[in-house]
Chains A and B, each alone.
Chain A
């Protein structure tokens, strides 16, 4: 019977297709990727290595953690998944800040709305703390402070006010929160006071332009210091000054650096010529880079400078001396090795390709470069060896 034969043939074909369908290979936990970048490096002082947090593109669960080991010169990409295979969707969406406090490594995962706490010597998960739209970290006396865009809804129905939450580092519980300005960013702590840079980026063109001052013992905002629009970074030096960056508005108002006198709590100096996307302090040297985009010209202006905090003057207008700066498309993270003064600048490139981390000797010559995850944003040096 021809018909029967053909029906059988169809059944076999269908069975074959279903056979393929049912045995798709599994989805493995992503392995880490070690790369030897500088076998001649060695441990200086007590710095054993550093962690690097990659933001990852929004909506893609691609926040990732990399590690560099000075004893071997090996850079390892993507260590979190392998060490924490049971953490659902790895680190999550958009890694915004990374800091070490005691023997814990803290990471702020912005769009997954939580703070991840890991063991600094194993990178293994310890705790998760839910904080809506969390941004940056600071620590003081056994407490972690996290700035967050999403404060209570009821205060301003048109734009949610921001807050800082206080987390007990012993049990990882939120113990208190304090309302600050709109869309708060970085936090600086000087003695018993906390300074929070408010951006107000969701309220364009009515940016926030203040630094909130919080009294730490009572955990209440005492007042605000008027600075400039769209504040972002805030770094204290060793001489009673706070350096604050304004992003500008990407049109006529440029990015600038402001100096606040902690004593008077007033703006002490406006540095028009020091555009500032990010900065880091090492001793009395403030490393500043800027990558400023203008909607008017549709162009980027990149600059690198070091400011001497003792004199308040810029000592160099380009700390990369070997021309590597021309190969960096979008500088995104900056860090200085506290002992050797080797410094690091990451390149986020087009934001959708993996980034690159460049290591420079203290005289600004490139030593090595390595591919990171997507959008390398934060570096934290550690004195513990990764087990």
Chain B
């Protein structure tokens, strides 16, 4: 998504683009290996929410970001349409505090620190989990400790029935926005140890949809979202090895896309206006492998390596804009990780891990840009020590200490940010007072930071190399109740409640300087967040009729306590915005999903609610944004033939055609539908 830094008469205006990198692919994470609900994994003591397998596929979602809307404590920023930027924000700390892991390894974007989740297809996705704090598996890379919260996406890994050595899956989707989406998956078993998977997907959409703005007793306009088309191709190939004492994994990934950016739906005279015809072209490649040794009870070892290469080109064509631009960015990353787990006793283990990462950003733009761009390189060394103990009376504890060292260089010997050398701790506790009752209490504390990105530090003119890291401190207390029943109508019941307090310190903010045309980055903000996440899910069985429901609710009071927002002694005419709710964070939000299965039929209904909130500039009437709520419904039927299976589904999203915005002036689609056909051999 192009986050547009205003172009203008006063500056070397250069559009500040937020390219996304599909950077990295990782090995299958051990704790997330199972297809069944992973939230029940007994090793996890940190707050986690997961959707997986069938449950995940039944939500009528197109991309990962759509599915994440059903999680509590999660806000998805969505600029609308299939091609619009979609980012995740967990517990209001900001999207750059969320580590996004794909198959176990973090996807990084050294340039801007944000990952566009709209690009991750649900096609081949097996598990989505969101962890508050960190994954509490202990045996993990240093990176797993290094963000304030983490999203783990795990793709499908081959499973073969009986004597079958090949699995084939073909999918086709079509529907609103002139969508055409096809994919094919081939999984092959070579022998009992080695299997492979090849997956390819093609997508094309015009991204066109109507949207309407109407005021009571005022204007009423219906426009068409234009320049939102996307064409993309994704290809993946992986080899999996599983032996008695070790397993290994290798993967290559390729993604290419070409898309338009419609921009904000601002007032325009379409007769003469400079239409937004910005285009973006992305190409991402990576290769990755891992090796895990778990041959004895005393210790385990894990090694990971990755190389990624990303290209992004952002074009503002001369005929559509006053200031044409054609910017190119190249990113490279090399990553190594080694982790060792020592099981000192049967209840006490220690993990030591060390990661090294190297990032490079090259760019080409205007002459002025090229002359002033520093061509940054970054060495990051992460070391983590963690220990986990499970005491007999029901108490589990995990403590970790992360050390981060960051050294930046400039290929042009320009001045860079000073080295960073930082220790950050975390502590997770869990207490299960009664063995038989599925009730557990938990608490965690975590102090972590995010490094300023290359854009924050070195973007020509705008960047500020003296930025300090932005810290997030979290305190959480909660309780979980989980129970499965063998008999009767009630099959399962899960409840969880968490209360939390977060502080975001030295928040990095882009701010205009002398005027709206000249911007810079500053460590200015301070935000406090007090919140509650509640989730409940229930499974019922009435003979052949299965019914399940899931509910999530989030309350957040996220206030901006930045010092310079204070206005004192200026009289009653001046509105105080110090302590107001931060932009785009609703006080109340939640979701309900209901699913009925009867024989081969499946009906899924989901409802999402986002309460009132404010856009930039304080909680005053002009910044007010109406609540929105959408209902999505999906019906599917399975057909089984002797050699193959088939599934057909019809999805209708935004059933009541609500006209809404997640980000002000980025209208979302009204009622839209999709038809999906899946063949499995």
Instruction: Please report A residues at the B interface, Cβ cutoff 8 Å.
Output: 2-3, 6-7, 10, 13-14, 17-18, 20-22, 24-31, 33, 35, 37, 55, 57-62, 64, 75, 78, 81, 85-94, 109, 111-114, 128, 130-133, 135, 149-150, 153, 157-160, 183, 185, 199-202, 204-206, 230, 232, 247, 250, 277, 291-293, 295, 298, 300, 327, 329-330, 332, 348-354, 356, 358, 368-371, 373-375
Contact = CB atoms under 8 A, between A and B. Distances in A.
Contacts of B577: 353-354
Contacts of B487: none
A132 B274 contact: yes
Q: Kindly list the 4 A-B residue pairs having the minimum CB-CB distance in the complex, ordered from nearest.
A: A92-B267, A85-B218, A201-B9, A293-B513
Counting chain A CB atoms within 10 Å of each CB, the highest count among B567, B617, B628 belongs to B617
A3 B11 contact: no
Interface in B411-465: 461, 464
A329 B564 CA distance: 9
Nearest to B13: A202
B530 interface: no
Interface string B275-304: 000000000000000000000000000000
Counting chain A CB atoms within 10 Å of each CB, the highest count among B272, B461, B615 belongs to B272
Contacts, number: 258
B570 A59 contact: no
B516 A369 contact: no
Contacts of A85: 215, 217-219
Given A35-B573, A130-B271, A58 B215 contact: no
A101 to B, nearest CB: 21
Contacts of B484: none
Given A150-B274, A183-B9, A368-B571, 9 more contacts: A10-B547, A24-B658, A88-B213, A93-B267, A132-B273, A149-B9, A250-B461, A293-B514, A350-B511
Contacts of A183: 8-9
Contact of B324 (A158, A199, A352): A158
B624 to A, nearest CB: 9
B547 A230 contact: no
Contacts of B163: none
Contacts of B13: 201-202, 204
A58 B6 contact: yes
Contact of A22 (B217, B572, B605, B656): B656
B268 A112 contact: yes
A28 to B, nearest CB: 5
A367 B475 CA distance: 46
Given A160-B323, A293-B513, A112 B564 contact: no
A185 B4 contact: no
A133 B274 contact: yes
Contacts of A133: 274, 322
B132 to A, nearest CB: 28
Contacts of B621: 30-31, 33
A111 B265 CA distance: 11
A86 B218 contact: yes
B315 interface: no
Nearest to B633: A14
Nearest to B578: A353
A78 B461 contact: no
B575 interface: yes
Interface in B1-57: 4, 6-13
Nearest to B621: A30
Interface string B537-564: 0001011010100000000000000001
B273 A59 contact: no
11 contacts: A6-B545, A26-B216, A27-B215, A159-B324, A230-B10, A291-B514, A327-B568, A351-B511, A351-B512, A369-B573, A369-B574
Nearest to A135: B9
